[in-house]
Structures are given as structure tokens and as C-alpha cells.
Amino acid sequence: MSMTSFSDWLYATQFSTALRETTWVIPNLQTIHIIAIAVVIGSAIATELRMAGIFATDRPLPDVLHRYLPWMKWALVVLLLTGALLVIAEPGRTLNNTLFWIKMALVAGASLVTLRARRSLVLATAGGSSAITVPEASRGLSWLMLLVWCAIIFCGRFIAYA
């Protein structure tokens, strides 16, 4: 089944129709989506800039990561759920949209780095090595991560116009 016929089928389902035709559903889902984006961005600023060596450098890295990574994880879950409902409501404008798939690829990449690589830094210190330092070379990755999160926001907004 092609993506177009899949999205046509999804569009015709009762659930999709109900979401789309209940006027308050989409704006409110988007509101929750944006609030969760803010949680991710706030947490990303704190953790990535800590690793870039310009924020809260007097605090141990694991403490900073430990404070924000769970919030990031749950915000990403909320984003996934509200995002899935938005796709179900309007499959045509998302699934057949290249920008949407670029966004998904970026989200997958950024989430993976955050929830695996960043988390491993917390776990590493839980094992005993207390003084963990971030290598100079990985600072570029922190800036790249912040850039990717911003790019994701741009993709998200431009999906509506493509």
C-alpha cells in the first residue's frame, strides 16, 4: 500500500474524521504540543549549554543531566502522542509531505542522542567515577543539538504551508 492510499484510508476512518471535525481538538492538541516543545527546549538549553561549558559550569554534569533528562523524556512522549493524533486528524498534509519526514528523521536523531548518549553520562557516574568531564571536542555536538531542535521547530511550522 502506498503512502497516499494509506493516508486516504486513514483520513476516511471514523477516528480521524471525529478528530478533524471537532473544532477544538486540533488547536488544543497543538497547544499541548507547543508547551511540550518548550519543556524540551528549556531542558536542552540547560543540558547542552552545560556540556558546551557555558551554563552552570560550577555544578556537576550528572546533577544537571539528572535534573532535566526525565523532563525531556516525558515531554518527548507527550510530543509523540499529540503529534500522532495530529497526523491521524490530517494525514494528507503530513504523511505526503517531505518536510514532515525530514522532521521525523531529525526528531529520531536528536531524541536518540539525548536519551541514550546523554543519559549514559549519568549512568557512567552512578557506577562510581564521580568527576566526569566532557571532552572539548564534543562541545560542537552540543551546539549542533540546539540547532537541530530549532530546525525541528521550523519544519513543524512549515509543514502547515508546504
The residues binding other proteins (CB under 8 A) are 26-28, 30-31, 34-35, 37-43, 45-46, 55-56, 58-59, 63-64, 67-68, 150, 153-154, 156-158, 160-161
Which residues contact residue 79 at a Cβ distance below 8 angstroms, ignoring those fewer than 6 apart? 33, 36, 37, 40, 107
Shortest reach from residue 79's CB to other proteins, in Å: 12
CA dihedral of residues 158, 39, 34, 102 (deg, nearest 10): 30
User: Which of 39, 42, 38, 36 is closest to 82 using CA atoms?
Assistant: 36
Element (H, E) at 97: none
Shortest reach from residue 136's CB to other proteins, in Å: 22
Smaller CB distance to other proteins: residue 123 or 162? 162
Rounded Cα gap, residues 39 and 24, in angstroms: 23
Shortest reach from residue 49's CB to other proteins, in Å: 9
Smaller CB distance to other proteins: residue 7 or 65? 65
Smaller CB distance to other proteins: residue 45 or 102? 45
Shortest reach from residue 31's CB to other proteins, in Å: 5
Which residues contact residue 119 at a Cβ distance below 8 angstroms, ignoring those fewer than 6 apart? 65, 69
Smaller CB distance to other proteins: residue 91 or 155? 155
